[in-house]
Amino acid sequence: MGKWQEMTKEELETQYSPSRWSPRLDKDAVIEAHVQATSEATHSAQMATQTLLNVPYGLSEGEKLDVYLPKDLSETFPLVLYIHGGYWQFLSKNVSGFAAWPLVTHGIALAAVGYDVAPKGQLEVMVRQVRRSVAFAVQQYTGISGVYLLGHSAGAHLAAMVLSTDWKEFGVVPNIKGAFLVSGVYDLEPITHTYVNDVLHMSREVAQWNSPLKCVPELENRRACQVLITVAQHDSPEFCRQSQEYFEALRAAGWSASLLNIADTDHFDVIEKLSQEDYLLTQVILQMILKG
């Protein structure tokens, strides 16, 4: 497959339709299964942990956090902020606590971040909301020993945009120690030529301004922040290309970045399985945080 600019609209839409690449289920069934799996695991996590649901971090209806806390809160604890996917127009924080249980059992808090998905929210608004959620969390919970970003698909894009934040306007500099970016999109321009943009209405300028690949900050004091970029074996070639290019761009700018391809997973179960402690990615995340 050549450069995305050389693809037909139909080829581009196939590349940017993750559900078409799953070997497990057909494209509609795999999305239904994803919603069911994340909903059930989120419900289980809420039953098993101490939770603070619908904590507002801003004035908009979508600007809320669901926080999952360890039972024995020590004086300080790491916080993982999970940013959900859904192509910026689907899913919510309400089905995004599925990764909490393996984390809280190791003394790590998780906050599932809500934001205003399209058509209500515009892309640049979502980016600002997620940045604000990080600033709010570190101001609200003074016991945080370090912040870790975890994002899937469109959520990986938003988490990557947090890494390029100018924190001066937020009045706080979060101690972001790591980012786990799973099956993400880091260059939005190809998206503007697909059905995904029918709801987002992104201009080329908005896409470029909000593409992590186009705004990688040069390394200042960010060596302490480790970035893990993950792709599924059955992600599309375009998703794999974008992950590779963002990884290379981070490394070129001096960041500590690594790239992980997880066998026998597709775009959906690569993140769903974070509800399981013995899953490879869960173990990698735990090791990075507990070593932190």
- Confidence category of residue 94, pLDDT binned at 50, 70, 90: very high
- What pLDDT score does 142 carry? 83
On average, the pLDDT of the chain sits at 94
Does the annotation count 235 as an active-site position? yes
- Catalytic residue selected from 66, 235, 266, 269: 235
Average pLDDT estimate for 227-256: 96
CATH top-level class of 4-278:
alpha beta
- Any idea where the domains of the chain sit in the sequence? 4-278
Separation of alpha carbons 175 and 167, rounded Å: 11
Among residues 153, 159, 149, which one has the least CA distance to residue 126?
Answer: 159
User: Around Cβ 292, how many Cβ atoms within 10 Å?
Assistant: 14
In which element (H, E) is residue 149 found? strand 144-152
Question: Residue 222 has what pLDDT?
Answer: 55
Task: Give the contacts of 59 (CB within 8 A, at least 6 positions apart).
Answer: none
Confidence of residue 209 (pLDDT cuts 50, 70, 90): very high
Residue 2 has pLDDT above 90, yes or no: no
User: Can 26 be counted among the known catalytic residues?
Assistant: no
Q: Which residues contact 168 (CB under 8 A, 6 or more apart)?
A: none
Whole-model pTM: value is 0.96
Catalytic residue from among 34, 267, 269, 275: 267
pLDDT at residue 72, rounded to an integer: 74
The secondary structure element, H or E, covering residue 246 is: helix 237-252
| pLDDT number for residue 132 | 97
Between CA 249 and CA 255 the distance in angstroms is: 9
Quick check: is 267 catalytic? yes
Whether pLDDT at 65 is above 80? yes
* Residue with tokens 């893990």, as numbered in its chain: 228
Residue 223: per-residue pLDDT: 58
Q: Is pLDDT above 80 for 199?
A: yes
Name the residue among 119, 193, 195, 196 with its Cα closest to residue 154: 196
Question: Of these residues, 22, 96, 133, 153, which one is catalytic?
Answer: 153
